Amino acid sequence: MTISKGFGACVGWGVESTYGTAVTPTLWEELVSSGLVEKQSGIGQPTLRSRSVRQFAPSKLETSGSIEVLGNYEGAAFLGLIKAALGSASSATVVDTTYTHTIVMADSLPALTFEIKPDGGDLAKNMQYSGCKINKMSLSCEVDGPLKGVFDILGDGRRTIISANTTTYPTHVGAQWDDLAATLGGTATKIYGWTLEVDNGLEVHYALGQRYATANEPKSERKVSGSIKCAMDGETIINLFKNQTETNGVFTFTGPLAGSTTPYSISFRVPRLVFNSDNQAPKDGGVQFLELPFDAFYDVTNTLGEIVVTAVNKTTTI
């Protein structure tokens, strides 16, 4: 008996043209971890015949869970997940052998087929999940750590065990903590931690006659939030919270050269953000930090949504 081992595990995905109709992955990425699973249970059907439940029927099929990957400047994989979470992307003409990609919010999200390769190849089988959409995206970066993305997924409930497809990884050019620079209101701001989250508020829908979902659509308004950690060195940022002053934030990772003079970069622009707390309670005798969570709002002026992501790499499209 061959025992599955996690080393060598990876994730792949492709965009479905018809919701729930599985496709072969076109993009692959290394995994930090995966919690994507299929769920079902027996639904008891009690009667007054006895206190024991004698009959049951299968429940609806559910697919949910998350994948965690490292931030990657290169390729369309990591950026493609961000695109799937926000909704839309465009790519500009080549400059200095690099391409500029702009990812913006859209009401309609693409349906995806995910494949999880659960081991290093001993089993030669993949777990395929169809009818998936990204319900939540959580990006984060801390001192001494890489940019990471956790993507929470909702699927139509169908998981198929298939023969492993060919895995092709993109070149990994990792976005790191010392690549990140931030501005608030156009002013450079030193930060010690950063998060950004998009909650798409999705809900899967079921119809009579089949156990898997027929649709995966928004139930509530989209929520965009995040946080920064900064040193308590004045009143400027505290007053942004105290006075509920709206400002803008730009969080840019800049990596090595992608062209002869143009570096890799991923920039997250939040045109309208409002801080909703300023946790400043002293915790020890060292440097005192402010934990500042924020909410982001729709960019009425430019009609581009709550976040605009701009990335520069050597990939033609994402």
Q: Where are the domains of the chain?
A: 10-38+58-313
Given a cut of 60, is residue 80 above it in pLDDT?
Answer: yes
Of 21-35, 136-150, 219-233, the range with the highest mean pLDDT is 136-150
Give me the residues paired with residue 37 across strands: 64
Q: How many CA atoms lie within 13 A of 219 on its CB side?
A: 10
H-helix or E-strand spanning residue 14? strand 10-15
Q: Which residue has the tokens 């300023």?
A: 278
Summarize the confidence of residues 188-193 as an average pLDDT.
93
Mean pLDDT of 156-164: 84
Q: What is the pLDDT of residue 240?
A: 84
pLDDT of residue 212: 85
Q: Inform me whether the pLDDT recorded for 1 exceeds 70.
A: no
Residue range 180-185: average pLDDT? Answer: 95
Share of the chain above pLDDT 70, in %: 94
pLDDT value at residue 120: 59
* Distance in angstroms (rounded) separating the CA atoms of residues 308 and 22: 30
pLDDT score of 3? 66
pLDDT digits (tens, 9 = 90+) for 200-250: 999 988 889 888 888 888 888 999 999 999 887 667 888 888 888 899 999
Distance, CA of 213 to CA of 205 (rounded, Å): 5
CA dist 158 and 309 (Å) reads 32
Contact 308, 83 (CB under 8 A): no
Distance CA 134, CA 155 (A): 9
Mean pLDDT of 62-76: 94
